[in-house]
Amino acid sequence: MARITMKFGGTSVGSTDALQRATEIVRQHVLDGHQIAVVTSAMGGVTNLLIEGAQTASSGDGERYKVITDHLREKHQQAADSLLHDPDARAAVSENVHRLLDQYEAFCAGMYVLREASDKAIAAVSSLGERICAPLLAALLQQSGVASQAIDACTLIVTDEEYLNAGVSWAESEAKARHDLLPLIESRVVPVITGFIGSTRQGVVTTLGRSGSDYTATLIGAFLECDEVWIWTDVDGVMTADPRMVPDARVIPVISYAEVGEMAYYGAKVLHAKTVQPLVERNIPLRVKNSFNPSHPGTLITNEASTTPGTVKAVTAIRDVSLITVAGRGMIGVPGIAARTFMAVAKQQANVLMITQSSSEQSICFVVPEAKSRAVVAAIQAELAYEFGRQDIDSAWADNDVEIITVVGAGMRRQPGVAARVFGALGEHGVNIIAIAQGTSDYCLSMVVRASDTETAVRQIHKLVVLNGRNQAPQPLDQPDSQPAEEREPTQ
């Protein structure tokens, strides 16, 4: 018997067929003797529609939110009518749908009158999709013979007052989660918990930001001391490259949290670093699996990084970025230029994705999101106006025709010549490298190239150093010879 937290993403609960598949996945693992806690997202696309309605209402559109409300009523009512056979269960789910969507319509009407949508209001609106979906999935599990109970995460996850990207109070949240959830799962009741949301100590709804439902799942998995956390999505696992760019991209069987963190940072659609933090600290493995292909073993993510020579795991690309250069011969030996430059960047709320500096100190180059580039350059020019006047600095400019390519893999640490092979392959195919950065961990090597060269660069690097890897497939949790979680060494 294992204790598993399973999170189902929006596509995995996005239709009646998907909801039935999710129900069967949970039911089968309960029958196999596992203790299961479920975290659910809203049905696919629902949260975006909820926010769209609120934003259009606050900008003076008094009709769009009404159309969205009617559409969401029909969508969820149709799911309840087609899936739930018991009239009482169907009536209870329907009442919840209409009650919450009545709230949504009232919220939007208020925003329309005030012409304002505060962060607090958007958080309340954003929470409704999960709060509608959880009782529906719990009712489906009950219908399938699995004891289940819908749980609003606002009663479990205590946060600060950053309403759209809330920080979690771990100690308080853990105490609440263990108090409310442990008795359920130990008595074979499956809690179905709303992902993405929490509340302040005063009970005001908050959201957990990017990958919020994944974060809910990893928090619950850590608080309940689970053997594993499973993220159910619509792909077979974490990929070696974006399959839209690299047709022969494949699923990575085993990868470390550190490697996934590098991939997420550099553009891959995988778990955010904040998401995996609860599991890293408690050494709990995580699996990324496909709810539409549940027999596939997926990707196993653990603390232990494979440093087998040649084990480069993936190639990622991050687009819509800008290379900012601050240059001048008078910069040599002048203290504080870099510090003041990055202070100016910070004041623009711009995330610095990559930094390089020449040893002569004549230039600093760094990459920021393209949307911030103009403001960043203006801020640098204002901050260093005195140095520009003295001609210590010649110029500061942005190059928007660039993208970042990153090679990720712990195996690079024990493999001499990886960088040389990468650079050689790019040179042979006419790809010019504009800037390079590598961290001391040696887990990744990042390069800035022209946007027109990105696909060529990614494909050639993938062919050269990724397809030669020697990863081993992960062992399914429920195989008889699977190691206990405490003995194991641990999406593009």
How many CB atoms neighbour CB 446 within 10 A?
Answer: 24
For the chain, what percent of residues have pLDDT higher than 90? 70
- Segment 85-94 mean pLDDT: 98
Cβ-proximal residues to 136 (8 Å cutoff; 6+ apart), any chain: 19, 76, 79, 80, 83, 84, 93
Using alpha carbons, select from 62, 1, 65, 69 the residue that is nearest to residue 31.
1
Kind of pairing between the strands at 228-233 and 286-290: parallel
* pLDDT exceeds 80 at position 156: yes
Of 32-46, 71-85, 234-248, 265-279, which range is least confident?
A: 265-279
Q: How many CB atoms lie within 10 A of CB 28?
A: 14
Q: Residue 444: its pLDDT value, please?
A: 84
CA Rg, the chain, in Å? 25
Cα–Cα distance measured from residue 477 to residue 29, given in angstroms and rounded to the nearest whole number: 11
- pLDDT tens sequence across 414-425: 677 788 888 988
Residue 162 near residue 226 (C-beta atoms within 8 A): no
> How long a stretch of residues is the chain?
492
In this structure, whether the domain defined by 3-234 belongs to CATH 3.50.50.100 is answered with: no
The whole-angstrom separation of Cα 208 and Cα 233 is: 19
239 - beta bridge partners?
A: 251
Report CA dihedral (225, 231, 237, 242) to the nearest 10 degrees.
-120
pLDDT in tens, 188-234: 999 999 999 999 999 999 999 877 999 999 999 999 999 999 999 99
355-391 confidence digits (pLDDT tens): 988 666 688 999 999 999 999 999 999 999 988 988 8
The span from the CA of 128 to the CA of 132, in Å, is: 6
Identify the pLDDT of residue 306. Answer: 63
**Strand, helix or coil for residue 177:** helix
* Angle made by CA atoms 367, 371, 376, in degrees to the nearest 5: 60
Task: Note the pLDDT tens digit of each residue in 1-14.
Answer: 899 999 999 999 99
Tens-place pLDDT, residues 109-151: 999 999 999 999 999 999 999 999 999 999 999 999 999 999 9
> CA-CA distance, 175 to 320, in Å (whole number)?
42
**Count of other CB atoms within 10 angstroms of residue 295:** 8
CA distance 43 to 354: 36
Supply the pLDDT for residue 92. 98
Q: Would you state the pLDDT for residue 337?
A: 87
What are the backbone angles phi and psi of residue 43, rounded to the nearest 5°? -60, 145
Instruction: Answer yes or no: is pLDDT of 305 > 80.
Output: no
Compute the distance between CA of residue 153 and CA of residue 167 in angstroms, rounded to an integer.
14
Mean pLDDT of the chain: 89
pLDDT in tens, 424-450: 889 999 999 999 988 655 678 899 999
Q: What's the pLDDT tens digit per position in 319-351?
A: 999 999 999 887 776 778 889 999 999 999 999
Describe the strand order of the beta sheet including 363-369 as a list of residue ranges. 354-357, 363-369, 314-327, 395-408, 444-450, 433-438
Q: How many angstroms separate the CA atoms of 445 and 262, rounded? A: 10
The residue extents of the domains of the chain are 3-234, 314-466
| pLDDT value of residue 211 | 77
Query: Confidence class of residue 152 from pLDDT cuts 50, 70 and 90?
Result: very high
Q: What is the pLDDT of residues 453-491, one digit of tens each?
A: 999 999 999 987 666 544 444 445 544 333 333 333 334
As a whole number of angstroms, the distance between CA 177 and CA 175 comes to 6
Task: Give residue for tokens 């910069």.
Answer: 331
Number of H helices and E strands in the chain, helices first, is 15, 16
Q: What is the pLDDT of residue 308?
A: 56
Condensed to tens digits (0 to 9), the pLDDT of residues 21-67 reads 999 999 999 999 999 999 999 999 999 999 999 999 999 999 999 99
| DSSP tag of 347 | H
Tokens, residue 178: 């263990």
CATH architecture of residue range(s) 314-466? 2-Layer Sandwich (3.30)
Among 231, 229, 16, residue whose Cα is nearest residue 137: 16
* Residue 14: per-residue pLDDT: 96
